[in-house]
């Protein structure tokens, strides 16, 4: 049973971490493409932040520069942590304390990464003109209203709504 759990849980963790990291790396490039494939807000929160904002070439370059700098400063996902989680899952005796400690370490690194991303997004926001900021705030409010509607639906209905937006 433990091996089956390990086969299911660890690849899922690895996929979710790598997807989250890859998303952040490509978000800036996607925000400049008018025909970028839309994704579910549930999958990638905040990736739509600059959708619908017409940027000048100078603003695009400044945002690319900010993202490039952030990529160099960002620490990569620790494969070692993921391997250790896997080893703990398939061990003969499960050590919950050690597993929790490893997860806490991973969670702290993720929080630090999210703070770095928020800082860069703040800098990007302040590159916008007041009119662009107004458009961005209006679009944000629309997304929040949509999310509130989804959150107020019964669970089965909201799952259907999210899956229908992914098609």
Mean pLDDT, consecutive 10-residue stretches, the chain (167 aa), reads: 47 48 42 40 52 84 88 77 94 95 92 90 93 92 92 69 57
Q: Are 11 and 18 in contact (CB under 8 A)?
A: no
Q: Tell me which residue of 136, 125, 129, 133 sits closest to 63, measured CA to CA.
A: 125
CA distance 148 to 165: 16
pLDDT at 41: 37
Q: How many domains does the chain have?
A: 1
User: For position 56, which CATH number holds?
Assistant: 1.20.120.1490
DSSP 161: H
DSSP 76: P
**Nearest 5°: phi and psi at 153?**
-75, 155
Range of the domain at 103: 2-165
pLDDT at 163: 59
pTM, to two decimals:
0.57
């Amino acid at each position: 049973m433990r091996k089956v759990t390990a086969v299911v849980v660890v690849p899922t963790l690895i996929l979710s971490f790598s997807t989250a990291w890859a998303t952040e790396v490509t978000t800036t490039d996607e925000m400049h493409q008018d025909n970028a494939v839309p994704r579910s807000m549930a999958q990638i929160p905040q990736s739509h932040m600059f959708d619908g904002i017409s940027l000048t070439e100078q603003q695009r370059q400044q945002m690319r520069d900010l993202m490039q700098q952030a990529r160099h400063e960002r620490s990569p996902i620790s494969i070692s942590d993921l391997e250790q989680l896997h080893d703990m899952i398939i061990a003969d005796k499960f050590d919950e304390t050690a597993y929790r400690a490893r997860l806490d370490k991973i969670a702290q690194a993720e929080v630090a990464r999210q703070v770095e991303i928020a800082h860069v997004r703040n800098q990007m926001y302040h590159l916008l003109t007041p009119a662009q900021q107004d458009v961005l705030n209006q679009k944000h409010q629309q997304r929040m209203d949509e999310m509130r509607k989804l959150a107020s639906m019964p669970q089965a209905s909201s799952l259907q709504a999210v899956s229908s937006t992914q098609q």
